[in-house]
Amino acid sequence: MLRVAAVAPDSLASGLGLARGDELLAIGERELGDFLDWEFLAADPAFLLHVRTAAGEEIEFDIERPEGLPLGVVLEPPKIRRCNNRCDFCFVDGNPAGARKVLWIRDDDYRLSFRYGNFATLSNLKDKDVRRILEYRLSPLYVSVHATDPAVRRSVLRNPKAPEILPQLEMFVAGGIRFHTQIVVVPGVNDGEVLEHTLADLYGLGAPVLSVSVVPVALTSYSKHDLVRAPTSAEAAAALGTVVRWAARARGERGTGWAYGSDELYQRAGEPFPSAEAYDGFEQVENGVGAVRYLEGLVRAEAGALPDLGGRRVLVLTGTAMGSLMPEVLAALEEATRARFECVTVENTYFGPAVTTAGLLGGADLGAALAGRPGYDLALLPAEAVNEDGLFVDDVPLGDLIGASPVPVRLSYHFTDALGAGEEAA
């Protein structure tokens, strides 16, 4: 059963009289279980929709609609599928006490993998989930593989019942499903020979495995440090060496890099990032793979359209991961706008200094960094650090930070979005 959260005004759904709170029960004979059923079954130009209204009346609508015209129904958010695993490096265990409720959810949901590119382990699939993935052609899926050796994978996931991933992937490949995959490298567990074998197995599945990213395990001050540690520089370099070798082979044989080290793997290994071309289509940029090169490319491509901000002083706050990489990006912005950009890297005191990404900075840390720095015309803060409710990860409201800041603040994903043509820094 699905419940309507809202109906767009002047839409087909509002014309039918559908309203918030109505339950969408079935299309034809098929029961509606979740948003995937709705999206796939309601894609037909004509169908019978069974509805129970908020008042309890059951109605059947005979719907016909011109191709491409949306119905105008917004569904209530889906119930997230929970995770059966207990990885030592789980981000949930890395939360400080008191973190907001949603941060404690261990989600492992193939539906969100398809819809949003969230990585899922597929270790909690039921037979009916498998059937749906095949019937609805949920492809590509984003899969956390970690290791193809069943014993090693069960150990990484801390789940003795996790099914073998290779036969699972083979079965889906036979059904036409493709994958982006990731391996979170835990030193001493799934690196070295295990990593080599995992990459070989995934490569052996052929073109349906579109990419594999190799990411060093990320820990906060609160993670289970007695059970898991981050790779040393030498361990990261060894893992990167394996990735680079497979990438060279894939490029020679398949014309794509296929295996990619995350930016953090390069940084831990002390190696420079490869060129933007090495990331092909930046398929896993959301997973921190090629994010720096992607940002540089965006800034270069859009810099020409930026306004003249001659003489203005712009403060850029970011995480410590980006500190050494910013000068080149900001130099391009300075050249395009004639403004003076100054970058300040902010240490994360909410999760701990080992967390270096800008998107996980708390409002308290960013606010403290702003407080001591009056005299700028504008401060750019990482937009990904604020959720849809306008809250930083530490629950500080963006509005409070702006109110207390001595500098006008804008959120920015890639600088040029906050310095758009026609806008001038206030």
How many residues touch ligand SF4 under the rule CB under 6 A: the total is 9
Q: Is 224 in the site for ligand SF4 (CB under 6 A)?
A: no
One-letter amino acid at 148 equals: T
Query: What is the C-alpha separation between 320 and 47, in angstroms, rounded?
Result: 54
For ligand SF4, the binding residues in 55-84 under the rule CB under 6 A are: 83
CB burial string 360-389: b at 16+ within 10 A, e below? bbbbbbbbebbeebeebbbbbbbbebbeee
User: Number of C-alpha atoms within 13 angstroms, CB side, residue 269?
Assistant: 23
Supply φ then ψ for residue 91, to 5 degrees: -60, -25
Name the minimum Å distance from CB 274 to ligand SF4.
27
Name the minimum Å distance from CB 397 to ligand SF4.
27
* Nearest residue to 292 (alpha-carbon basis) of 336, 248, 341, 330: 330
Q: Which is nearer to ligand SF4, 121 or 405 (CB)?
A: 121
Q: Which is nearer to ligand SF4, 26 or 184 (CB)?
A: 184
Going edge to edge, which strands form the sheet with 209-216? 141-144, 179-185, 209-216, 259-261
Q: Which is nearer to ligand SF4, 123 or 211 (CB)?
A: 123
Interface pattern 79-98 for ligand SF4 (x via CB under 6 A) = ----x-xxx--x-x------
Give the one residue of 37, 108, 201, 264 binding ligand SF4; rule: CB under 6 A: 108
Name the minimum Å distance from CB 34 to ligand SF4.
20
Name the minimum Å distance from CB 242 to ligand SF4.
22
Query: What is the C-alpha separation between 411 and 380, in angstroms, rounded?
Result: 6
Q: Which is nearer to ligand SF4, 3 or 86 (CB)?
A: 86
Q: Which is nearer to ligand SF4, 162 or 236 (CB)?
A: 162
Name the minimum Å distance from CB 162 to ligand SF4.
10
Name the minimum Å distance from CB 94 to ligand SF4.
10
Give the one residue of 65, 106, 338, 373 binding ligand SF4; rule: CB under 6 A: 106
Q: Which is nearer to ligand SF4, 30 or 86 (CB)?
A: 86
For ligand SF4, the binding residues in 290-349 under the rule CB under 6 A are: none
Query: What is the C-alpha separation between 386 and 393, in angstroms, rounded?
Result: 7
Query: What is the C-alpha separation between 121 and 112, in angstroms, rounded?
Result: 12
Q: Which is nearer to ligand SF4, 30 or 161 (CB)?
A: 161
Judge whether 421 and 337 are in contact, CB under 8 Å: no
Name the minimum Å distance from CB 141 to ligand SF4.
15
Q: Which is nearer to ligand SF4, 106 or 249 (CB)?
A: 106
Name the minimum Å distance from CB 156 to ligand SF4.
8
* Nearest residue to 27 (alpha-carbon basis) of 16, 17, 39, 15: 39
CB atoms within 10 A of CB 162: 21
H or E element at residue 233:
helix 233-254
H or E element at residue 196:
helix 192-204
Interaction site with ligand SF4 (CB under 6 A): 83, 85-87, 90, 92, 106, 108, 121
